[in-house]
A and B are shown apart, each in its own frame.
Chain A
């Protein structure tokens, strides 16, 4: 099975840098993805790490270490609009069409 753990809530100030961690226990997966969801909205895809290391997309970066069963999403130059929930997710290696999501981290950005 798959299990992904995230902190439930993180608070940071505008302009700061924040890291959202995701630790996992899986029987095998293709890679680690991150999604953003604003209150009442649909999750939207942010990034994907197929291999270990850092992937950068603008202000957002994502990191994966398979040996440590750990990944994180790094948000830089925080803006008020970044206040949302962030979910890590994996795609099952034994069933390509099955995804597992973490419980999500609510990010509160304060002025």
Chain B
């Protein structure tokens, strides 16, 4: 159990357009989901923490108006990259926690975003 999916797995978009990435916990409810960004040859960087039914908490330096996060249900969080630019091209990964009973997190397969 504990499977997290992401959709799409890759996307190419033109500069100035918006892209939505979905993160779903398939077999468990996740009150908290996390969004990370990973550039080539680098580690994962936490972007924001997404709590169901409330506003996301963004890390310092991450623009909340550019990276819109919605966590409308216990199994779905979405990240929308608005007015994307080439520098937003990256690998976006979400993770989900089953809650306070475990420290283990489950990661999605990631979404490769390329902005042309």
- Same complex origin of A and B: no
**Using a CB–CB distance below 8 Å, which chain A residues touch chain B?**
none
**Using a CB–CB distance below 8 Å, which chain B residues touch chain A?**
none
